[in-house]
Amino acid sequence: MTSLYEEMAPTPADEVPVRQVTITVNGERRSARVEPRLLLVHLLRQGFKLTGTHIGCDTTNCGACTVLVDGTPIKSCTMLAVQADGHDVMTVEGLAGPSELHAIQEGFKEEHGLQCGFCTPGMMLTSKALLEENPNPTEDEIRWALGGNLCRCTGYQNIVKAVMWAAEKLGDGAVSTAEYGDGEVTA
């Protein structure tokens, strides 16, 4: 059991309302006791130590905090942790398999789709949702889908190429390695 409250606040627990949440994160069921005001991104980063999800603008603009909730990209700096209770969350840590990168990660590597890497987790998760809905997107469709993810390094060209690379690889019948077991773990 992770009690984020204890980590983040010095006051005794009985003075602050606490809720228990249970979220499936990257295929594992995890529970935590959280303040109702805690943002999902903070639970992921500080509570579950999944620091691949980044906080960029903190105002729902930049998309660095993008995660998939029930397969849909959302900005986790604008969702409360309690709102994810009972739902399925995927972070960038869930993309790679035990020994192999996800095709989208490979694409970013092959096409130099990142420089500083700060926006990359969000870019990749939005791309994953796009490719699941539309396995053969055009360049315009990729640019449209990534409109909510900002990058200050690459000028986007290589990010778009990386997604096209991944689409091609996945289209070749290459199987995604990011399949989870049914393991149930309480942190």
Partner 1 sequence: MLKLRFASPEMLVDINEIPDLAYHVRDPDGAIRVGALCRHADLERSTLLAQHQPTMMGAAPVVADPIVRNRGTLVGSLCHADPQGDWASVMMALDASVIAYGTQGRRSIPIRDLVSGPFQNTLSYDEIAVEAVVPPPQGVATGGYLKLERRVGDFATAGVAVAIDRVGDRVVRAGIGLTGVGGSTIAADDAAAVLIDGSLSAENISEAAELAAAAARPHTDHRGSADYKRQLIRVFTRRLLNRLTTAGEEAA
Structure letter (DSSP) for residue 100? S
Strand partners, 68: 73, 90
From 27-35, 46-54, 71-79, 164-172, span contacting partner 1 (CB under 8 A)? 71-79
Amino acid at 156: Y
Nearest CB to partner 1, comparing residues 110 and 141: 141
Nearest CB to partner 1, comparing residues 80 and 90: 80
Length in residues, the chain: 187
Sign of the C-alpha dihedral, residues 84, 85, 88, 91? positive
Strand partners, 2: 32
Asked if residue 40 binds partner 1 (CB under 8 A), the reply is no
CB atoms within 10 A of CB 24: 17
From 1-9, 46-54, 56-64, 91-99, span contacting partner 1 (CB under 8 A)? 56-64
Asked if residue 58 binds partner 1 (CB under 8 A), the reply is yes
- List binders of partner 1 among 112-171 (CB under 8 A): 126, 144-149
From 6-14, 44-52, 66-74, 179-187, span contacting partner 1 (CB under 8 A)? 66-74
CA–CA distance, 5 with 34 (Å, rounded to integer): 6
Amino acid at 11: T
Nearest CB to partner 1, comparing residues 106 and 131: 131
Which residues lie near partner 1 (CB under 8 A)?
A: 36-37, 58-61, 63, 66, 72-75, 78-80, 82-83, 126, 144-149
